[in-house]
Amino acid sequence: MSVVGLFSGIGGFELAFARAGFKTSLMAEIEPAASAVLRERFPEIELRGDVATLGKLPEDADIMTAGFPCQNLSMAGDKSGIAGTKSGVVEKMFDLIETSHIQTVVIENVYFMLQLDRGNGMRWLADRFEALGYKWAYRILNSAAFGLPQRRRRVYMIASRTIDPRSVLFADEHGAPAQEEPTLSKPLGFYWTEGRSGIGLTVDGIPPLKVGSALGIPSAPAVLFPDGEVLTPGLGACEALQGFPKGWTDIELNHSRRPEWRMLGNAISVPVAEWIAKRIVHPGDVLNFRQEKIVSGKWPSAAWNVAGERIAVIASDWPVALPPRSIAEFRNGDWSRLSDRALDGFIERVLAGGLRVPAGFIEALRAADRKVRKAA
């Protein structure tokens, strides 16, 4: 089966589908830096720029992957919805689907689209796929379920004319593990650029890598390790935390500001997409999930329409549980100490916001602050 990748980013879908035995014949990506990565990592695949300028897709294309822009759909974006300047290019995606032989479409985006404007973005996608005769299913999936120490929840949608999309997304169910109590005996990941309303505290992992922050700083989360060090992962570690080989974005880029953080924050987690690709090759039996009709309001975290009726599904974001890896396994010389200025600012914001944090957390950060100052 031949794949075309729209809004390819740095090639997460392409890498994942290649690992599952698929061949990609065309990629499209408008961002120059991401395009440079694609050109370096997939020199044999035709690369085009703006999706809006594509005339038609290859005749033999069976599958389309699309991680279309989320800036207008995310909590960190402007929340203008799917018709926004960035996310609105998805209209062109449907024009291409309508004039091609694409049988199956795989989409990834932020889960906030299910809540924004009462789920209008997902409703719009469902309307369009149904009008073209596609069955569809979607489910929020957590990257942590696939062995990555990153609490990253994203919506994955499968629409198809030939396969039952439920056999891809709903043939597995493990269930989310019980939440661990955050204590200083385990690494604690957090957004050091936040603090007034939340910090994304994550036990033995990091909160989602993302493009921006409350301070407008594109940067990785920090981790307080049991040895008292407060460190932020470098680009190589962040590539690994998304499932890419280390050095994936390490190429010559002619940019005044390094765009790797943005590219990695926008990327999909490769192991999640690989699981989907392998399930497309080997569909499973649909499990007996609890179901109910979709009525109104925000859309559920999982749903399908395969027989003319939209059904909400009670499913976890952990369809599987691949062997977990501790964030400590990713710690190497690529990590950097958080500066005293950053620590001071974060502590001040947390205290001003009155947030609940684990016992000893603030004291441990202050000790790290003193250590950084002493080493300066």
Q: What is the pLDDT of residues 246-255, one digit of tens each?
A: 999 998 776 5
Assign 160 to helix, strand or coil: strand
Q: How far is CA 62 from CA 65, 279, 371, in A?
A: 10, 16, 57
State how far the Cα of 137 lies from the Cα of 290, in Å rounded to an integer. Answer: 15
pLDDT at position 298: 77
| Tens digits of residue pLDDT in 250-276 | 987 765 456 788 899 999 999 999 999
pLDDT at position 313: 98
Strand partners, 109: 155
pLDDT score of 84 more than 80 = no
pTM (two decimals): 0.93
Q: What percent of the chain has pLDDT over 90?
A: 80
Mean pLDDT of the chain: 91
The arithmetic mean of pLDDT across residues 189-204, rounded, is 93
pLDDT at position 190: 97
Rg (CA), the chain: 21
pLDDT score of 331 more than 90 = yes
pLDDT at position 117: 84
**Residues carrying CATH 3.40.50.150, the chain:** 2-176+267-314
pLDDT score of 73 more than 50 = no
Parallel/antiparallel/unpaired status of strands 230-232 and 336-337: antiparallel
Q: Which range has the worst mean pLDDT, 18-32, 213-227, 351-365?
A: 213-227
Considering only CA atoms, which of 280, 268, 274, 282 is closest in space to residue 16?
Answer: 274
Q: How far is CA 334 from CA 229, 246, 325, in A?
A: 14, 11, 18
Q: How many helices and strands in the chain, by DSSP H and E? A: 10, 15
Burial (CB < 10 A; 0-12, 13-18, 19+), residue 322, is middle
Parallel/antiparallel/unpaired status of strands 23-28 and 2-6: parallel
Catalytic residues: 70
Q: What are phi and psi of 340, to 5 degrees?
A: -65, -35
State how far the Cα of 283 lies from the Cα of 54, in Å rounded to an integer. Answer: 31
Burial (CB < 10 A; 0-12, 13-18, 19+), residue 181, is exposed
Considering only CA atoms, which of 251, 245, 244 is closest in space to residue 267?
Answer: 244
Burial (CB < 10 A; 0-12, 13-18, 19+), residue 85, is exposed
CATH architecture of 2-176+267-314: 3-Layer(aba) Sandwich (3.40)
pLDDT at position 195: 84
Q: What's the DSSP call for residue 303?
A: E
pLDDT at position 346: 96
Q: What percent of the chain has pLDDT over 70?
A: 92
State how far the Cα of 169 lies from the Cα of 186, in Å rounded to an integer. Answer: 32
